[in-house]
Amino acid sequence: MRKLRKHLLNLALGELVAAFTFLVVFKLYLDLGFASLLALSFLVFQLIQGVLYWVFRSQSLGKEKSLLMRKTLIMLRRTNLLLAVLVVILLVMLAQNKRDLFLGMLIYVFSVIEYINYYWYRLSYGKSGFNIKLLIQAGLKPSSIHKLLKRK
């Protein structure tokens, strides 16, 4: 149980480091326009949800899953859908130039993939991470959050 808790906290830490790294890299090395910054904000929002979920999982090992956490995840899943639509519309409307739009759309696509990975289907498997060949062979499997939300 202790080893599993440590693993779950490492997953949370990995998500947090990824969010922080994206922010630092984009701030220091890329001249972001408003569209790119908006897309980056959406990505960081996704990653922070991953942090919260893995911390929750590590704290609830061996216990019944919290109704509050389930309701929070349901609300976040719906909020993400609304934000996904809003962000893509704003990206197109507010892009300062083609570079800003292109970079913003790349970040946005990555954010949507993260959303799908968290709330619907597991897109990474084991140490290989995202491997399209393995994904096709194994098929899409429900994500941890999706399984949690399906339980009654």
Burial class (CB in 10 A: 0-12, 13-18, 19+), 133: exposed
Q: Which two tokens stand for residue 41?
A: 């904000």
Report the pLDDT value the prediction gives residue 127, as an integer from 0 to 100.
57
Residue 130: its pLDDT value, please? 61
Residue 80: per-residue pLDDT: 97
d(C-alpha 86, C-alpha 38), whole Å? 10
User: Are 112 and 42 within 8 A, CB to CB?
Assistant: no
Torsion angles phi and psi, residue 62, rounded to 5: 75, 0
Mean pLDDT per 10-residue interval, the chain, length 152 residues: 91 95 86 89 96 91 79 95 97 94 95 94 67 71 89 68
3-state DSSP call for residue 129? coil
Geometric angle at alpha carbon 47, from 142 and 87, rounded to 5° = 95
- pLDDT given at position 7: 92
